[in-house]
C-alpha cells in the first residue's frame, strides 16, 4: 500500500491508492526523476489496472512466482530501473535486489544525464549502493548504436542472463531477448509488444508486483535449483497472457 507524500487526502477516499500513485509520479516529474511521457505511460497502465480490478490476478501471481524462480536460478540477474519505477517503488526495488543478490541498473528510454543522476541520488537516499547506469559503457547489439536507449553497462544488463524490465519499451525488450537473455517484463497491458516479446510477463501493477516478488523471493530463496527449474519449465507465457486477457475481459464485462 502506497501512501501520499504531500496530498492531504483522507485514507478513506475510495481512490486513495490510485491518487497516491499519481502524486508519486507528478512529484517524480517535479524532482526530475520521471519523464513527462512517464505520466502518459501511467495513464495507459491505470486504464488496464482499472479493468483488472486493481488487484493481483491468479495469472499474475503465477508469473511472479516463475519470475522469482528465474531470478534466483540466474547467474547474473539484473533489475532495470526507469523513471516510473524510481518514483513508485524505490525502496522496494532495492530490497528485491538485496534479497535476490542482483545488480540494479538505471536504464532510461528518455535518457538524459541529469535524470540518470537524479534517479541514482534518489535510490541512494533509499539505501542503494553500487547502482549501475551512471556511466553506461557498451551497447545492446540489436539496437541502433547511436540511440541513447541502447547504451547499457558491462557487468550489468549487457552481461546479464536474466533481466527484470518493469514498464519497458517493445524494441528494447526484443533486443534483450534476441541477445539470448531471459526477460521478465512487468506490464499492465497484456497486448503490448513488450508483453509478447518477454520470457515471463507479469500483468500487474509494479506497486503490487515488486512487493509480491520480495515476499516470494524470501520464501523461495533456499529452494533447491531442481525445484526452481521445475517452476520455470512448467511456466508458459503465451498461456499466461491468454489467461490475463480473459481475466481482464471477464472482470470488465462484470462491471457493466
Pairing of strands 182-186, 162-166: parallel
Q: Which residue number has the CB closest to ligand PTJ?
A: 45
Q: Which is nearer to ligand PTJ, 203 or 232 (CB)?
A: 203
When the beta carbons of 109 and 235 are compared against ligand PTJ, the nearer one is 109
How far is CA 66 from each of CA 125, 178, 227, 228, rounded to the nearest angstrom? 30, 20, 11, 8
Give dist(CA 40, CA 121) in Å, integer. Answer: 24
Of 146 and 226, which CB lies nearer to ligand PTJ in the complex structure? Answer: 146
- Least distance to ligand PTJ from the beta carbon of 84, Å? 5
Enumerate binding residues for ligand PTJ (CB under 6 A): 35, 37-38, 41-42, 44-45, 48, 82-84, 108-110, 167, 169, 186-189, 192, 205-206
Cβ-based neighbours of 40, under 8 Å, separated by 6 or more:
none
Q: Count Cβ atoms below 10 Å from residue 225 Cβ, excluding itself.
A: 10
Q: Closest distance between ligand PTJ and the C-beta of residue 225, in Å?
A: 29
Q: Kindly list the distances between the CA atom of residue 35 and the CA atoms of 39, 41, 72, 102, in Å, as whole numbers in the listed order.
A: 7, 10, 31, 25
Measured between alpha carbons, how far is 9 from 21 in angstroms, rounded to an integer?
13
The minimum distance between CB 175 and ligand PTJ, in angstroms, equals 14
State in angstroms the smallest separation of the CB of 188 from ligand PTJ.
4
For ligand PTJ, the closer of residues 26 and 227 by Cβ is 26
Q: Tell me how far, at minimum, the Cβ of 190 lies from ligand PTJ, in Å.
A: 9
Q: Which residue lies nearer to ligand PTJ by CB, 111 or 181?
A: 111
The single residue listed with the C-alpha cell 496530498 is: 7
Amino acid at each position: 500500500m502506497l501512501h501520499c507524500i504531500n496530498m492531504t487526502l483522507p485514507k478513506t477516499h475510495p481512490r486513495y491508492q490510485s491518487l497516491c500513485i499519481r502524486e508519486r509520479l507528478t512529484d517524480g516529474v517535479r524532482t526530475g526523476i520521471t519523464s513527462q511521457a512517464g505520466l502518459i505511460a501511467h495513464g495507459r497502465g491505470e486504464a488496464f489496472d482499472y479493468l483488472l480490478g486493481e488487484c493481483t490476478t491468479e495469472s499474475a501471481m503465477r508469473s511472479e512466482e516463475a519470475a522469482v524462480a528465474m531470478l534466483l536460478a540466474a547467474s547474473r540477474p539484473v533489475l532495470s530501473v526507469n523513471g516510473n519505477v524510481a518514483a513508485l517503488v524505490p525502496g522496494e526495488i532495492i530490497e528485491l535486489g538485496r534479497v535476490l543478490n542482483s545488480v540494479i541498473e538505471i536504464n532510461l528510454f528518455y535518457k538524459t544525464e541529469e535524470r540518470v543522476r537524479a534517479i541514482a541520488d534518489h535510490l541512494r537516499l533509499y539505501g542503494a549502493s553500487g547502482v549501475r547506469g551512471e556511466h553506461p559503457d557498451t551497447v545492446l547489439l540489436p539496437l541502433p548504436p547511436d540511440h541513447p536507449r541502447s547504451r547499457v553497462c558491462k557487468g550489468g544488463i549487457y552481461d546479464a542472463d536474466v533481466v527484470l524490465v518493469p514498464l519497458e519499451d517493445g524494441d528494447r525488450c526484443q533486443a534483450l531477448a534476441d541477445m539470448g537473455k531471459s526477460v521478465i517484463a512487468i506490464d499492465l497491458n497484456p497486448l503490448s509488444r513488450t508483453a509478447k516479446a518477454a520470457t515471463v510477463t507479469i500483468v500487474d501493477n509494479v506497486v503490487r508486483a515488486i512487493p509480491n516478488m520480495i515476499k516470494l523471493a524470501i520464501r523461495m530463496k533456499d529452494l533447491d535449483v531442481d525445484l526452481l527449474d521445475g517452476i520455470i519449465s512448467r511456466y508458459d507465457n503465451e498461456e499466461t497472457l491468454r489467461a490475463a486477457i480473459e481475466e481482464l475481459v471477464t472482470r470488465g464485462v462484470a462491471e457493466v
